[in-house]
Chains A and B, each alone.
Chain A
């Protein structure tokens, strides 16, 4: 081990490896903390891997330390749970030190190692001092805090298994949402006793749910909440805003507990003992009517967290609990359906529709058949006349009569069949159409599902600013696609916050301006021309357009002359520029722009628009227009290289036919003139990388002009097919992000098609237009004349793999890697390798088994194999060689040339002779 800083080249890999294995160790330790029994094997394995990795990169002290941990695991055997449980602190400091070693910069490594050497040594010694006999003697002094951590913590973990906790979470989130919504409404609708009753019941159910899973702390808090609400209902106390604050905070507190993970939940009662106590006394005071708000707020520390939890909860739950009793009446009940199942339903419904389209051609063939039958009957009639005239044998005439009869009844049969089929076809077409629409419809949720948190949000912000604001919701039942609804949450949140923060005046200012004390914030949703239109209207102070104009000039965003000519709407557009309004201007218009660019960005992502209009003194209105759904897109279908592709209609500026001589070529780029604007032209073939870059210029070109923000691009396609509503399907995730392609769909005839991601396509067009270097690079480089020898490295440690790969490549060999034995076995059969280097201890298929498999295969049996292992005992060596390995090396072989020498012995140098 040298002291120069570059002697730790593998540190990056080392860090990755440490991360994985430390995670395992921590998990085991946290199980131990909860008094659960653990397996010693994962601990040993993790320690073993860290040891190996540390030794390879030359961090000896960590290697020794984890080595001690590994042998401890081996010594303890079955007794490990009890013994390790008593040394949790030691284990944690060991893990801490190991983790720290991965964070040290290569240049500081030597210093750091020097600094911790003594500490690491002491820890290693402590580890090796641990003996199984310790189980017997009971030393409470050794781990004083351990008992404290375990006794209350283990309570819920023992009482409730995972599924019960899951049920508790669902129940809690429903009940707490009722509480939260109800409390806010209670404030605006004070004294409504039936409202309080709902709250009481919610608190009561919450208490019951918590009791079942044994969360005593939650039971206590819910209990005092219920008491306070009972008192309020009985009219013994009135709930003033301060009391509602406490109740809301208690709700949040419970919510953050319910959304904590199992381990956190287990220690919750201890971690927040003070808050719990505080809630209990405050709520008791409320019940007795003696509550006085104090300076500090219990639970304030977890409020932020609670909010996070709340939105998280909202996302995961497809359904939302009925938010208030007024709306519940006449509402459908809601069930949870997995998104995957819904997608599959959609696929089947669409396919049914496609199949239905085959009925009509089938009917046509039936009609043809009928026509032939009519013709046949007609001919038979004529023939009979001839036969009668000819006066043939009567027996023949009878026979012919029978033939005519058969032909007639066959014609009748087919007529009946056609009638029947017509009826069937009509009803089936109708049914499959309805089915399809219904499935599409099922993706829709009422707008109110996306608004549950808003009344609370507005109330809290307004209260904290000393303002009075009431939020009115309109069009709560307007259907919106659930994806779109989810995406709207953040922008709406932002706009509402902004309105409360900057839009409304303080109550006294409002009174002075002759307005009512309480401001009204109105959020409405409606459908208009196939779009969802949302309006957020406040009756606050409005925005002073003049001030923005000044600000625009001040920041030199445009010239004086231009600024003067900008219309009011255009000036307001500046509000959406990133960081337009800064803290330096805390005036009437201040902060209006802060974060509004976020809204704009989200709108771009989902294909929507946001506008703002304002009148000084009267208020401001934000209008958002988004597509009602993103699962159906109206698109133009075109033919590119004999396959259908679709351009979303909202991105198309126009389509046009160009003659070849309309195209001008400037610096090897193609342009054409459209209404006086120079528009760059690129063939879709090139942009999608289908064939050559420039298509042969035929006389007429079909061009789709797409717009990306303010730039226009012409995309040459082969043919326009038509407009269609497409149900958007995600592209197979195994394909990754395909350049220029956004998603997939099916044509009316059930053929797959690809939907173009215009923005992304424009990016590749840009590259094509400006790059000039259009040479497609081949993914695999062409084999040079001399074939290099190929070596396969099989090891489950990324560090070892990388070390071996580096050593081999430095020596000139071509290297492939496999992550375990089974992976290796597959690679060997496909790979055409000259040599295999394998580890022994690997998941799925170990090294011995792998060697045996190779030796048993008559096509592969002659490949030389080297085993490289940490195991340096003679019996391991013998076992490896018996299995059929040609060489057995220990991993210390990397330190010198042993490894490469062994390989050269077996297969010679890297080049084929």
Chain B
């Protein structure tokens, strides 16, 4: 390389790099980056996915306090009904046990089990505005993020009761998950079964 030309070349190079960005360039990238983040953050809805009988269901994570191992429920005389099952021990505290199964009337069908062999029954501790209830479910998958845009309206072939409690359906692993309306679930338990 010729040393005499060095300085002028460097100058030219820095001119090239320092030149003002073409108009609309910044805005363009700004928009692109923002759009992507929005898409990821705004449109994903994390839900706790679980199963009762053959039905895949989901609840908003803020309505779930914890998941615990299945435990025996003690009936309460004069109080137990098909939804309010009794009391159950959750980490040393006695909580009210309810049956989501009966509340939303998930029917037992004779189809082959939908789950793999590793499924255990679990208890979900539901919470909302200081109220807590515990419900037994057949299997808990975990928290799954869903694209909000992928929500579909209720199909006609589920029980009327399930349809009532469902906000919408999300496609998941070749099947559909029904997103339950936790506000309505609590309202119904508190007003109709307690």
Contact = CB atoms under 8 A, between A and B. Distances in A.
A347 interface: yes
Interface stretch (B12-20, B51-59, B88-96, B170-178): B88-96
A830 B192 contact: yes
A735 interface: yes
Contacts of B122: none
Nearest to A350: B92
A688 B74 contact: no
A736 B84 CA distance: 14
Nearest to A352: B92
B156 to A, nearest CB: 11
Contacts of B117: none
Interface stretch (B3-11, B31-39, B107-115, B182-190): B182-190
B74 A344 contact: no
Interface string B73-95: 11111110000001111011111
Contact of B96 (A688, A734, A736, A826): A734
B78 A644 contact: no
B92 A734 contact: no
B192 A744 contact: no
A300 interface: no
Contact of B78 (A346, A351, A689): A689
A730 to B, nearest CB: 9
Interface in A802-856: 823, 826-827, 829-830
Contact of B187 (A732, A744, A746, A826): A826
B45 to A, nearest CB: 20
Contacts of A754: 74, 76-77, 87
A736 B190 CA distance: 13
Given A344-B93, A351-B92, A643 B74 contact: yes
Contacts of B163: 859
Interface residues of A, number: 39
Contact of B183 (A354, A732, A751, A826): A826
A830 B78 contact: no
B26 interface: no
Contacts of A738: 76-79
A347 B76 contact: no
Contacts of B75: 641, 643, 690
A751 B184 contact: no
A829 B89 contact: no
Contacts of B164: 829-830, 859
Contacts of B194: 734-735
B155 interface: no
B79 A735 contact: yes
B91 A751 contact: no
Contact of A351 (B77, B91, B95, B188): B91
A729 B90 CA distance: 13
Interface in B137-194: 153, 163-164, 183-184, 187-188, 191-192, 194
B72 interface: yes
Contacts of B78: 688-689, 738-740
A741 interface: yes
A278 B192 CA distance: 62
A90 interface: no
A579 interface: no
Nearest to A727: B92
Given A348-B92, A732-B96, A753 B76 contact: no
Contacts of A688: 77-78
A752 interface: yes
Nearest to A746: B89
Nearest to A348: B92
A734 B163 CA distance: 28
A688 B76 CA distance: 9
Best-surrounded residue of A350, A734, A738, A859 (most CB of chain B within 10 A):
A734
A729 B96 CA distance: 13
B76 A735 contact: yes
Contacts of A753: 74
B76 A750 contact: no
A901 B164 CA distance: 31
Contacts of A689: 77-78
Nearest to B133: A734
Contacts of B95: 732
A479 B107 CA distance: 56
Interface in A682-741: 688-690, 729, 731-732, 734-736, 738-741
A2 B172 CA distance: 67
A739 B192 contact: no
Contacts of A350: 92
| Chain B: number of interface residues, binned into ranges | 20 to 34
Contact of B74 (A346, A644, A734, A829): A644
Contacts of A830: 164, 184, 187-188, 192
Contacts of A352: 92
A646 B91 CA distance: 21
Contacts of B192: 830
Nearest to A687: B77
Contacts of B87: 731-732, 744, 752, 754
A351 to B, nearest CB: 3
B162 to A, nearest CB: 13
B100 to A, nearest CB: 15
A219 B183 CA distance: 54
Nearest to B88: A752
Best-surrounded residue of B77, B78, B96 (most CB of chain A within 10 A):
B77
A689 B191 CA distance: 23
Nearest to B74: A752
Contacts of A827: 187, 191
A741 B77 contact: yes
Given A351-B91, A732-B87, A830-B192, A752 B72 contact: yes
Contact of A740 (B77, B86, B88, B92): B77
A227 B130 CA distance: 53
A793 to B, nearest CB: 15
Contacts of B93: 344, 347, 729
A827 B190 CA distance: 12
A751 B92 contact: no
A725 B5 CA distance: 97
Contacts of A859: 163-164
A746 B71 CA distance: 12
A750 B79 contact: no
A66 B91 CA distance: 54
A641 B120 CA distance: 27
Given A348-B92, A734-B96, A751 B74 contact: yes
A344 B79 CA distance: 25
A354 B69 CA distance: 15
Best-surrounded residue of B73, B91, B184 (most CB of chain A within 10 A):
B91
Best-surrounded residue of B86, B92, B191 (most CB of chain A within 10 A):
B92
A908 B72 CA distance: 50
Contacts of A829: 164, 184
Contacts of B79: 735-736, 738
A753 B194 CA distance: 20
Contacts of A740: 77-78
Interface in A337-360: 344, 346-352, 354
Contacts of B76: 731, 735, 738, 741, 754
24 contacts: A347-B91, A351-B89, A351-B92, A641-B75, A729-B93, A732-B95, A732-B96, A734-B96, A734-B194, A738-B76, A738-B77, A738-B79, A740-B77, A752-B88, A752-B89, A754-B76, A823-B187, A826-B188, A826-B191, A830-B184, A830-B187, A858-B153, A859-B163, A859-B164
A-B pairs with lowest CB-CB distance, top 4: A351-B92, A347-B92, A688-B77, A826-B187
Interface of A: 344, 346-352, 354, 641, 643-644, 688-690, 729, 731-732, 734-736, 738-741, 744, 746, 750-754, 823, 826-827, 829-830, 858-859
Given A351-B92, A738-B76, 11 more contacts: A344-B93, A350-B92, A689-B78, A732-B87, A732-B96, A739-B78, A744-B87, A751-B74, A752-B94, A754-B74, A826-B183
